[in-house]
């Protein structure tokens, strides 16, 4: 007899409960449980994707901030050089 694939959507002890149910009810309950399980898996995948996008955006913000700081430091240096040049000009 071939073993059936694992069915993680079925709660522990399901086989003892299922053995007492009529086949038509058992089939419907298993289908509902499987559908609920699939919905949960889909929601987890969606949340993982959203977390990945959030982390990517965070990394982009940090990178942009670092570039902005470097640019501001460069502008400050140019400003200081300009002030120094103006101070050295003869009147």
Q: What is the pLDDT of residues 15-65, one digit of tens each?
A: 888 888 999 998 999 899 999 999 999 999 999 999 999 999 999 999 999
Q: Which residue has the tokens 């509902």?
A: 32
Of the candidates 43, 28, 36, the one whose C-alpha atom is nearest the C-alpha of residue 8 is 36
Determine the pLDDT at residue 80. 95
pLDDT at 8: 72
Run of H or E residues at 47: helix 23-88
Phi-psi region of 12 (alpha: psi -120 to 50; beta: other; left: phi over 0): beta
- Residues 25 and 10: their CA atoms lie apart, in Å, by 14
- Is-above-0.75 flag for pTM? no
- The span from the CA of 84 to the CA of 68, in Å, is 24
Residues 63, 54: Cα–Cα separation, whole Å? 14
Phi-psi region of 68 (alpha: psi -120 to 50; beta: other; left: phi over 0): alpha
């Amino acid at each position: 007899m071939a073993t059936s694939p694992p069915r993680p959507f079925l709660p522990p002890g399901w086989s003892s409960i299922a053995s007492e149910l009529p086949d038509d009810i058992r089939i419907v309950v298993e289908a509902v449980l499987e559908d609920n399980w699939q919905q949960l898996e889909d929601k987890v995948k969606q949340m993982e994707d959203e977390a990945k996008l959030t982390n990517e955006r965070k990394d982009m913000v940090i990178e942009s901030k670092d570039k902005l700081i470097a640019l501001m430091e460069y502008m400050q240096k140019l400003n200081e050089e300009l002030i120094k040049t103006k101070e050295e000009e003869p009147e």
